[in-house]
Structure 1
Amino acid sequence: MQPEGFRDLAHLGSVELYTAVPEETRDFFVDLMAMKEVHREGDSIYVHAWDDYEAYTVKITGREQAGIGRTYLRASSPDALSRRVAAVEAAGLGDGWRDTEYGLGPVFHCRDTDGHELGLYFETKRYVPTEEHRPSLKNQASRFPGRGANVRRLDHLNFLAADVPAASDFMFGTLGARATERIVTDAGETAAIWYSISDKSYDVVYTSDWLGARGRLHHVAFATDTREDILRAADVFLEAGIHIETGPHKHAIQQTFFLYVWEPGGNRIELCNAGARLMLAPDWETITWTQAERAKGQAWGLKTIESFHTHGTPVIT
């Protein structure tokens, strides 16, 4: 079902990650994920994926605990931004405008029903490569790095939520995202739901937090060009002593080829390749998966490991 306001949001712009070891997290993204450091400000380090047209992809911010900071969503036009801001304010979830974020114009700060911090914006500063990083092909943002995981762009993120249905109502009714797939328990409760704000199969996911906590992160995902990039990345992470949690393998839901690792700060990071699967149907009907279907494991039979259901950031002990 296509919601009112669909396409008012263009794409997932950038994400802020909290970490107690910001320099080590920075090295993970730069040395192993093949991003480039582009800016430092206060206790934050900004890094850029090689084909991201915007000024930065990840903002790494030092904090006592790992977790998700603010997630930035770009609107498709100034008018579209005004419509989504009005809807957020009507829902009582707005926190006002700011104009201090590196690489962005005015940003409307808000939060979802679970407390995750969001920033809605339209004006943005495009990435300009240095001569050293100027690409041979003028239709890509930067030179192909040819090292590490070679992640091309930010793909999606998965929020943990105490109340998935409430968060889903916010995504659908307030931000204008459409649900593409979901998991429903035997009791009829939505345990996880995948939302798209574009032609991609998904941009934002909400998964039930097994601890009932609010505002936590399950994972942030970055796209590679090929499955082979992910297979090589597994060896890169192995040699660097990075914890490989699960994969490489293929999800049943959304059919994404995946690898999950924990960056040095403890946040779960996914490398993914969704191939050519797009949601082109304007009247797409949400696919529902049952508990029994999910119990079968991933697409090729790999069982979901326990930590995938128990680890989130910040860690709660």
Structure 2
Amino acid sequence: MPPAGFHDIAHLGSVELFSPVPEETRDFFVDLMAMKEVHRQGDSIYVHAWDDYESYTVKITGRDQAGIGRTYLRAASPEALQRRVEAVEAAGLGAGWSKTEYGHGPVYLFTDPDGHEMGFYYETEWYEAGEEDRPSLKNQASAFPGRGANVRRLDHVNYLASDVPAARDFMTGTLGARPTEQIVLDDGTPAAMWFSVCNKSYDLVFTSDWLGARGRLHHVAFATDTREDILRAADVFLEAGIHIETGPHKHAIQQTFFLYVWEPGGNRIELCNAGARLVLAPDWKLITWTQAERAKGQAWGLKTIESFHTHGTPVL
């Protein structure tokens, strides 16, 4: 059965990325990923994916090193927000309320056991399309951009963690997320776990950091409508001189069709399409992949390249 508090988090809302070259990272998301710049505040630039109902999707903040800043999670209701806040406070990981976060009402700030910054909120500003991006169909947030990768929305975040079992206990016991798949090493240690907060097959992932560091990022993923969008995106990135790390190909775990690139600041970005795969079973059974099964590579035989295990941001 799902853990207590499952569905208290409605969905993954937005994410902050640190970049040593924020203007170049902004151009990557706007020109190549087909997002729109919507706001600037201090050293941060906010960009919006075309069918995100909220006011922005990615917050790009200038820093000396690449990496992940705060991940924002929208609660399902004010009551659900309060329940998750109480759970985080009981775990001793809370940092208090902020009322100055762009696009949101009060945000409760906290960290996971590995030091990744997060925030819960319920009140949010919806995206208002202007004349230049008003959609023909009133049930989408803005007009289809028809350029670059055409990513529709933020899909998931994959964190690197020094202690995956601690992350598992936090995700299930404190956030109320449900694990759907995992990799378990021969000694019985979980090396990676995929968690769902809704009916998507996964929203948040924790992967063992081979360097033993804390608080790093593996990748942030954005969803496309079709596999063909990802194939076209590979050509778009090729022409733009963006480093294509691996793919297009299909993962065995979660069956996601993928392409991984490094944006100009150095963060790994995934374009993904999981088709219509949802987890609808209330009694979903956790799928476990062994070390030997994982060593076989991806679904269609592509071997996992070395940098996929070693590159994370900030770079060590």
Q: Normalized against structure 1, the TM-score is what? A: 0.99
The amino acid that maps onto 2:253 is I
d(CA) in 2 for partners of 1:60 and 1:34? 15
Where 2:253 maps in the other structure, the secondary structure is: coil
Instruction: Give CA deviations for 1:212-248 in whole Å, capped at 9, x if unaligned.
Output: 0000000000000000000000000000000000000
Q: Cα offset for 1:249?
A: 0.1
The amino acid that maps onto 1:200 is K
The match for 1:110 is 110
Q: Cα offset for 1:312?
A: 0.1
The match for 2:18 is 18
The match for 2:239 is 239
The match for 1:80 is 80
The match for 1:35 is 35
d(CA) in 2 for partners of 1:20 and 1:283? 44
The match for 2:65 is 65
Q: Cα offset for 1:255?
A: 0.1
Where 1:281 maps in the other structure, the secondary structure is: coil
The match for 2:45 is 45
Instruction: Give CA deviations for 1:189-226 in whole Å, capped at 9, x if unaligned.
Output: 00000000000000000000001000000000000000
Q: Cα offset for 1:166?
A: 0.2
Instruction: Give CA deviations for 1:251-287 in whole Å, capped at 9, x if unaligned.
Output: 0000000000000000000000000000000010100
d(CA) in 1 for partners of 2:252 and 2:92? 37
The CA RMSD measured in Å over matched residues stands at 0.3
The match for 2:99 is 99
The match for 1:195 is 195
d(CA) in 1 for partners of 2:167 and 2:213? 13
The within-5 A match list for 1:98-177 is 98-177=98-177
The amino acid that maps onto 2:214 is R
d(CA) in 1 for partners of 2:291 and 2:299? 15
The within-5 A match list for 1:217-296 is 217-296=217-296
d(CA) in 1 for partners of 2:215 and 2:303? 27
d(CA) in 2 for partners of 1:77 and 1:188? 38
Q: Normalized against structure 2, the TM-score is what? A: 1.00
The amino acid that maps onto 2:157 is L
The match for 2:3 is 3
d(CA) in 1 for partners of 2:101 and 2:127? 15
> Which stretches of structure 1, 4 residues or longer, exceed 2 Å deviation after superposition?
none
Where 1:254 maps in the other structure, the secondary structure is: helix
Where 1:239 maps in the other structure, the secondary structure is: helix
The amino acid that maps onto 1:240 is A
Where 2:38 maps in the other structure, the secondary structure is: strand
Where 1:83 maps in the other structure, the secondary structure is: helix
Q: Cα offset for 1:110?
A: 0.2
The amino acid that maps onto 1:42 is G
Where 2:166 maps in the other structure, the secondary structure is: helix
The match for 1:307 is 307
Q: Cα offset for 1:67?
A: 0.1
d(CA) in 1 for partners of 2:269 and 2:242? 11
Q: Cα offset for 1:186?
A: 0.3
The amino acid that maps onto 1:2 is P
Q: Cα offset for 1:131?
A: 0.8
d(CA) in 2 for partners of 1:208 and 1:192? 6
Where 1:230 maps in the other structure, the secondary structure is: helix
Q: Cα offset for 1:104?
A: 0.3
Q: Cα offset for 1:93?
A: 0.2
Where 1:221 maps in the other structure, the secondary structure is: strand
Gaps of 5+ in 2: none
d(CA) in 2 for partners of 1:9 and 1:59? 20
Gaps of 5+ in 1: none
Q: Cα offset for 1:187?
A: 0.5
Where 1:45 maps in the other structure, the secondary structure is: strand
